[in-house]
Amino acid sequence: MRVSVKSGGLRAAAGLAMVAAFVVGIMPGGAVTTASADAPFQPVPCRAQVWNRGDVPFAALAGAKAYYGEYAGGIYHIEIPDDWNGELVLYAHGYAGEGDVVRAQNPSAAWREHMIKNGFAWAVSSYRCNSYVPGIGLQDTLLLTGIFQEVNGGKAPERTYLTGASMGGHVTLLGMQEYPTAFAGAMALCPAGPTLFDYFAANGAAAEVVTGLKFGGGQTSSATLEKMMQQFGTPPNYTAKGLAMASIMINSTGGPRPFTLEGLTAYFGRTISGSKLAGEPGLLAAAASTQGWEYAIGAGHGLTAEAINAQVRRLEGDPAYRGSETPYAELAPFTGEIERPLITLHTTGDMFVPIFLERDLYKAVSGAGNTGLLVQRIYRDANHCGFSSAETIRAFDDMVAWARGGEKPAGDDINASFANAGMTFTNPLRPGDPGTVDATKNAPRPPSTGDSEASINDDRLAETAIPVALVVTVIVMGAYVHYRRRAHE
């Protein structure tokens, strides 16, 4: 049965009021979050253009009802099992490209079926715009709570969980930091973060050293990159310079680890950005920094880490966007100030959103004294978000049990060597394990591994990466969502 709820009864004001109603409710543990105009959350805004909505309807699974419609600027999908357990899972999707059509992206089929069979309702938003907009994603995901309550006959969930993949993982981490008592727990799959665009820019700086070419000088960064790729070869058939560049990318993001060279095949040229170095416009380019990036390289490539670190161009992120006074929390380093259980998942061979981001997260959470609330798991796979259904479902179930008051589940030591990481939670081991752990030789194309759909559309981020110009615009809803979040000193 499909139940369509049209957007006419869910105007922007009503949606905002429902969000406020959600955050003033009693949260797990008895904590109460109240509305406030203090320190409103301000996202990187949408581009000023017309955004079109894609197809809205979707079919419910057996034993559930589907609700779908439009809110102020976007699309929502909600599925509620007939035997609802009183809990709601919010799923934040990943990067959906730069096109003008927004679409809702549902959780993977197996995970969705698991949630419905176990009584969980779930909800997703298209977000009101595309591009790399985790702040907008967080705002619009929060709006789902009010829409859910309306379609659910006024019944609010007893617990709400926040989940998301890739950019949606960034949404999840941001939500746990900025609204630390709003969710019972969270699961972030292959989460991106503020230093992801530093990685793209740092790769650009290293490419200059390896090739002898420079970004800028009147040429577009894409034109220069094309010339660099002629020296690097076409993955997986690298030249000697291509293998040197690949080794830099692997060793500077955590070192040799299972399936890294296979994982780099799809993202090699697409994660080398020259926009920052060429001085091209764009908010993300302005925010990116190569200043503190520490380069490393394997043996046998005719370069040393010392030489690379001495020769690369070092550019700071614009303090207006990246400094302590940035108006955009999504661009600032994580504070680690979480108050509810958080599980993260990352694959070893993810060279689009590499696993070093997990170490950044751990450092922040540890610095805030909150490691008791963080579990991080590693999986041996060549793909971005390439988790099997069994891996995703186990992590979800463990997070829920923990959030309900159970014991803290096991995780991996994210600061230990990655050379043979991921043996504990990988299920099953992928064909050809451990793959090619460093760029010592050309590797075959990565195997088709994992059966999760969590990474749908996320790989398009690297096609544009930093060159996308994110200009300042007016938020289409006409107002920010104002309710109490953690006050930053």
Dist. CA 229–CA 96, nearest whole Å: 26
Q: What is 199-216 written as a DSSP string?
A: HHHHHHHHHHHHH---S-
For residue 380, name the pLDDT band (cuts at 50, 70, 90): very high
Range of the domain at 149: 2-192+336-401
Confidence at 11, pLDDT banded by 50, 70, 90: very low
Q: What does the buried/exposed string (b/e) look like for 380-406 if buried means 16 or more CB atoms within 10 Å of the residue's CB?
A: bbbbbbbbbbbbbbbbbebbbebbeee
Confidence band, pLDDT 50/70/90 cuts, at residue 443: low
402 three-state secondary structure: helix
Flag the least confident range among 10-14, 75-79, 138-142, 170-174. Answer: 10-14
Q: Is the pLDDT of residue 416 over 70?
A: yes
State percent of the chain over pLDDT 70: 82
- Cα–Cα dist 295/316, whole Å: 16
For residue 462, what pLDDT is reported? Answer: 41
All residues at 6 or more sequence positions from 277 whose CB lies less than 8 Å from its CB, including other chains: 201, 204, 205, 208, 214, 215, 216, 221, 313, 315
Torsion of CA 401, 405, 409, 413, to 10 degrees: 130
CATH number at residue 31: 3.40.50.1820
pLDDT above 60: residue 304:
yes
For residue 25, what are its two tokens?
């409710």
Determine how β-strand 121-125 pairs with β-strand 74-81.
Answer: antiparallel
Tokens of 296: 């490393």
Tokens read off for 380: 């041996």
Question: If you average pLDDT over every residue of the chain, what do you get?
Answer: 86
Separation CA 167–CA 299 (nearest Å)? 34
Instruction: Answer yes or no: is 321 within a domain.
Output: no
How far, in Å, CA of 106 to CA of 94, rounded? 11
Residue 123 has phi, psi (to 5 degrees) of: -150, 145
Q: Is residue 294 part of a domain?
A: no
Q: What does the pLDDT read at residue 478?
A: 30
| pLDDT above 70 for 87 | yes
Q: Cβ of 158: how many Cβ atoms within 10 Å?
A: 12
Mean pLDDT of 45-57: 93
Q: What is the pLDDT of residue 8?
A: 30
Assess whether pLDDT exceeds 60 at residue 37: no
What distance in Å separates the CA atoms of residue 398 and residue 230, rounded to the nearest whole number? 47
Residue 249 lies in a domain: no
* Res 484: pLDDT: 32
Is there a domain that residue 125 lies in?
A: yes
Among 355-359, 441-445, 475-479, name the most confident range: 355-359
* pLDDT for res 40: 65
The domain tally of the chain equals 1
Is residue 17 one of the residues assigned to a domain? yes
Closest CA to 120 of 203, 74, 63: 63
CA distance 259 to 434: 6
What is the distance in angstroms between the CA of the first residue and the CA of the last residue of the chain?
Answer: 49
| The pLDDT value given to residue 444 | 60
Q: Give domain status of residue 153, yes or no.
A: yes
Q: Would residue 446 count as lying in a domain?
A: no
Q: Is the separation of the CB atoms in 426 and 363 below 8 Å?
A: no
**Letter for the amino acid at 429?**
L
Helix segments in 233-280, DSSP class H: 240-251, 260-264, 275-278
Q: What is the CB neighbour count within 10 angstroms for residue 479?
A: 10
pLDDT of residue 441: 74
Q: What is the rounded distance in angstroms from the CA atom of residue 416 to the CA atom of residue 254?
A: 10
In a domain, 83, yes or no: yes
Query: pLDDT of 246-257, one tens digit each?
Result: 999 999 999 999
**Bigger pLDDT: 479 or 118?**
118
